[in-house]
Amino acid sequence: MIIDSLFWIVPVASLLALGFAWWFFAQMKKADEGTDTMKRIAQYVRQGAMSYLKQQYKVVGIVFIVLSLLFVLMAYGFDFQNGWTPFAFLTGGIFSGLAGFIGMRTATYASARTANAARHSLNSGLKIAFRSGAVMGLVVVGLAVLDIALWYLILNYFIDEPKTTHKLIIITTTMLTFGMGASTQALFARVGGGIYTKAADVGADLVGKVEAGIPEDDPRNPATIADNVGDNVGDVAGMGADLYESYAGSILATAALGASAFALSGESAQYKAILAPMLIAAVGIVLSIFGVFIVRTKEGATMKDLLRSLGVGVNVSSALIALSTFGILYYLGIENWLGISFSVISGLVAGIIIGQSTEYFTSHSYRPTRRVSKSAETGPATVIISGVGLGMISTAIPVVTIAIAILMAFLCAINFDIKHMLAAHNIQLGLYGIGIAAVGMLSTLGITLATDAYGPIADNAGGNAEMSKLGPEVRKRTDALDSLGNTTAATGKGFAIGSAALTALALLASYIEEIKIGLMRLGENILTFADGTTIATAEATIVDFMEYYQVTMINPIVLTGILIGAMMAFLFSGLTMNAVGRAAQKMVEEVRRQFREIKGIMEGEAEPDYARCVAISTRGAQIEMILPSMLAIIIPIVTGLVLGVAGVIGLLAGGLAGGFVLAIFMANSGGAWDNAKKYIEEGNFGGKGSEAHKAAVTGDTVGDPFKDTSGPSLNILIKLMSMVSIVMAGATVAISLF
């Protein structure tokens, strides 16, 4: 088995990312945290966030133990899967959880320091917030690439397979299973964190802003600390875990597709196809670090100026990784290296377009969100209608972009051989192109995630500034940073959803390869087709398996699977929306109770019971996250056992199509409602306290679970169903009813 000097670039790049993450964290810790009041508020938030994570990890730990025991039984009891699967599953979950923990810990230390830096200048505040966000970005890519490199080395050493090309297929498909661990952890983090933060946010907004008429983040509001805690557990820890599994999943799926597509070309070609996505990710890490250092702004910068500052870092990194890709693939000497390079470019360009589209539809610098703001003049109903319409319209550009990216990635990889594009080799090569396009889209995750994690840090900094009663000039700067964060968060969600679509498609193709291995493990070495012809299982292509399992649109099993997959997107969203609603009801009642029973709160003479609100959000999130998260695991298993391979492929296709479009709609509607409120708070259409402002707050309240709970959780749902199906492939082919 070949492991040449190029491979070691991968673990070295991961260690470089982790090293810079530690350095950025250390530099942030050296900054002054501000006054005693600022320190006390930051401590409240930090304690609440850590308390929540401890509770969440207890629940998730139980789920992981149960699933690990199931995989042990499947591997060693029934021989349905590789014996390494339970261990790979555990490391995926542990590394994903660790990335979220480090990112959130950094954010809770950075918020007060950002607020204090904003006392001096806008650039100082931006620098601390952004570089603290970069800790999250670099930890995610560093740990993901390190995990991949370590598992490759371990499996290469221990797997004993005389035929090297087959060994590489076993290695890459086994590595896919640690992606399920990452996806499972990510879903619990996203759903639980989303329920937590939105329960607190809704309670704070409805009672504080609308009923009591006090500003956002006013220390008199009992839900304020819980709201700030929620920003960290949902938008930092949750988003970090989310993009960790997207990033790792895209690399792993592409490596598995490369092992399959180039198996007949020999060991060397196969190894290069596996190494390529790892090297692109490694170079992307280095260029992301470079991008972080060139982000800066000037005093008095407008929203567009701030967006441009962040855009410089992201766009320069993207341009450099695009150029580097050509060099990497040329040096490796991969078949049709030029075409596959353009497949990577198609993913990069798609990511940029989706990000820009999201910014256009959610930033109040542009007309769509301003129109939502104007609709608030006629009440909450028109705000809701306007935001829903905007979200629906906003799906067009991302969907068309992803569709074009898929076609271009496929065609570039097969050198535009349209006449024979459905030939077996071209299909495998084209799917590899789609997978590597997903890698390209996520190659600069180190800096794109930094722009996302920056958002909740800036939001918490604004909250700290308000509660610490810093001057209006400071609050103006933190508000500017916070508004920027709302847009970058929405852009990050759009980016995550777009990458999920490409990754899920690559995983769907990898599922077929896992089915092949499952059949061979069961001793079914010959496939007999409906017409009586046969083929050796080891030699069967994706086209052969599609014919063998009759995966066509006229197969009722496939159609049933498609409908179940599309239904899952709506069922999951409904469950998470209702979960937020129930938790928010409890928060609203508690805030009202404190305003009513604790004398002197409104006068500032008594301190609210912040801890009680934190406890309500924590308990609500822990209870409510279990059902939707477990359904995401159980439904693919049941579908596979009942409907078989054809049903699972339908399920994954339906889930991808329905979930992708619904996720964009929800994320963009929610982002637009949020920034429409912010636009009014800047003094437009009557400003704070006006009837238009109250209507916009209602819209923002509806949009909160849209953009921060249900919407972003859908992209994890899409990939988790794929990962569960891959891990359960052996059981599906062994005991399914159809």
What does the pLDDT look like over 701-724, one tens digit per residue?
A: 899 889 888 988 898 898 889 989
The most confident of the ranges 241-245, 274-278, 600-604 is: 274-278
Residue type, 39: K
Choose the weakest-confidence range: 139-143, 265-269, 378-382. 265-269
Whether the pLDDT of residue 309 is over 80: the answer is no
* SS3 state of residue 103: helix
Choose the weakest-confidence range: 76-85, 252-261, 477-486. 477-486
- Residue 490 vs residue 607, higher pLDDT: 607
- pLDDT tens per residue, range 442-486: 888 888 788 777 778 888 888 788 788 887 888 788 877 776 766
Residue 160 near residue 171, CB atoms below 8 Å: no
Whether the pLDDT of residue 608 is over 90: the answer is no
Which tokens in the block code for residue 382? 């028109």
Whether the pLDDT of residue 1 is over 60: the answer is no
- Residue 509 vs residue 76, higher pLDDT: 76
Buried b (16+ CB within 10 A) or exposed e, 470-497: beeebbebbbbbbbbbbbbbbbbbbbbb
Q: How far apart are CA 300 and CA 452, in angstroms?
A: 22
- At residue 526, what are phi and psi to the nearest 5 degrees? -130, 130
Residue 727 near residue 177, CB atoms below 8 Å: yes
Cα first-last separation, the chain: 39
Whether the pLDDT of residue 670 is over 60: the answer is yes
| Average pLDDT in the chain | 87
Whose CA is closest to 107, among 458, 444, 446? 458
DSSP class of 84: T
Whether the pLDDT of residue 313 is over 90: the answer is no
Which tokens in the block code for residue 307? 């967006």
pLDDT of residue 177: 81
Residue 136 near residue 98, CB atoms below 8 Å: no
Three-state secondary structure of 339-367: HHHHHHHHHHHHHHHHHHHHHHHHCCCCH
Which tokens in the block code for residue 730? 């052996």
Q: How far apart are CA 373 and CA 382, in angstroms?
A: 10
pLDDT of residue 598: 87
pLDDT of residue 405: 94
Whether the pLDDT of residue 362 is over 80: the answer is yes
Please list, in sequence order, all residues whose beta carbon lies within 8 angstroms of the beta carbon of residue 135, skipping any fewer than 6 positions away.
Answer: 21, 24, 25, 28, 102, 103, 106, 453
Please list, in sequence order, all residues whose beta carbon lies within 8 angstroms of the beta carbon of residue 408, skipping any fewer than 6 positions away.
Answer: 342, 343, 346
- The continuous run of DSSP H or E covering 247 comes out as helix 239-261
**CB half-sphere exposure, 1, CA atoms < 13 A:** 24
Q: How far apart are CA 690 and CA 146, in angstroms?
A: 52
Q: How far apart are CA 683 and CA 686, in angstroms?
A: 6
pLDDT category of residue 495 using cuts at 50, 70 and 90: low
pLDDT of residue 324: 92
DSSP class of 79: -
Whether the pLDDT of residue 424 is over 90: the answer is no
DSSP labels, 520-571 = HHTT--EEE-TTS-EEEGGG--HHHHHHHTT-STT-HHHHHHHHHHHHHHHH
In the chain, how long is the greatest CA-to-CA distance? Answer: 85
pLDDT of residue 83: 86
Q: How far apart are CA 728 and CA 643, in angstroms?
A: 13
Residue 170 near residue 482, CB atoms below 8 Å: no
DSSP labels, 482-529 = HHHHHHHHHHHHHHHHHHHHHHHHHHHHHHHHHHHHHHHHTT--EEE-
pLDDT of residue 492: 65
Residue 260 near residue 512, CB atoms below 8 Å: no
Please list, in sequence order, all residues whose beta carbon lies within 8 angstroms of the beta carbon of residue 467, skipping any fewer than 6 positions away.
Answer: 37, 41, 217, 218, 219, 224
pLDDT of residue 339: 94
pLDDT category of residue 662 using cuts at 50, 70 and 90: very high
What region, left, alpha or beta, does residue 218 occupy, with left being phi > 0 and alpha being psi -120 to 50 degrees?
Answer: beta
Q: Which residue has the tokens 């569960």?
A: 724
How distant, in Å, are the alpha carbons of 255, 330, 720 from that of 709? 31, 42, 16
Residue type, 66: V
Buried b (16+ CB within 10 A) or exposed e, 524-553: eeebeeeeeeeeebeebbbbbbbbbbebee
CA atoms 205, 210, 216, 220: torsion sign? negative
Q: How far apart are CA 218 and CA 468, in angstroms?
A: 9
Strand partners, 534: 528
Whose CA is closest to 247, among 452, 42, 392, 553? 452
Residue 345 near residue 329, CB atoms below 8 Å: no
pLDDT of residue 306: 65
Q: How far apart are CA 700 and CA 673, in angstroms?
A: 5
How distant, in Å, are the alpha carbons of 150, 283, 403 from that of 439? 19, 12, 16
Choose the weakest-confidence range: 31-45, 214-228, 321-335. 214-228
Q: What is the mean pLDDT of residues 571-595?
A: 89
Choose the weakest-confidence range: 179-183, 479-483, 614-618, 684-688. 479-483
Residue 387 near residue 699, CB atoms below 8 Å: yes
Q: What is the mean pLDDT of residues 152-159?
A: 90
**Which ranges in 380-471 belong to alpha helices (H)?**
380-394, 396-413, 424-442, 445-467
Please list, in sequence order, all residues whose beta carbon lies within 8 angstroms of the beta carbon of residue 90, skipping any fewer than 6 positions away.
Answer: 64, 68, 181
Angle at 321 between CA 455 and CA 248, to 5 degrees: 65
Residue 644 near residue 548, CB atoms below 8 Å: no
Give the chain's length: 738
Q: What is the mean pLDDT of residues 350-378?
A: 89
Strand partners, 528: 534
Q: How far apart are CA 570 and CA 658, in angstroms?
A: 8
CB atoms within 10 A of CB 321: 25
Which tokens in the block code for residue 158? 């221990």
CB atoms within 10 A of CB 416: 12
Q: What is the mean pLDDT of residues 302-324?
A: 76
pLDDT of residue 649: 95
Whose CA is closest to 189, among 285, 308, 56? 56
Q: What is the mean pLDDT of residues 363-371?
A: 90
567 Cα distance to chain centroid: 21
- pLDDT tens per residue, range 23-74: 999 999 999 988 888 888 888 888 888 888 888 888 889 999 999 999 899 8
Please list, in sequence order, all residues whose beta carbon lies within 8 angstroms of the beta carbon of residue 183, skipping any fewer than 6 positions away.
Answer: 92, 245, 249, 716, 719, 720, 723
Whether the pLDDT of residue 385 is over 70: the answer is yes
pLDDT of residue 434: 92
Whether the pLDDT of residue 223 is over 90: the answer is no
Please list, in sequence order, all residues whose beta carbon lies within 8 angstroms of the beta carbon of residue 701, skipping any fewer than 6 positions away.
Answer: 201, 202, 205, 206
CA atoms 306, 138, 288, 278: torsion sign? negative
The most confident of the ranges 263-267, 269-273, 599-603, 622-626 is: 269-273
Residue 252 near residue 172, CB atoms below 8 Å: yes
Helices (H), strands (E): how many in the chain? Answer: 23, 2
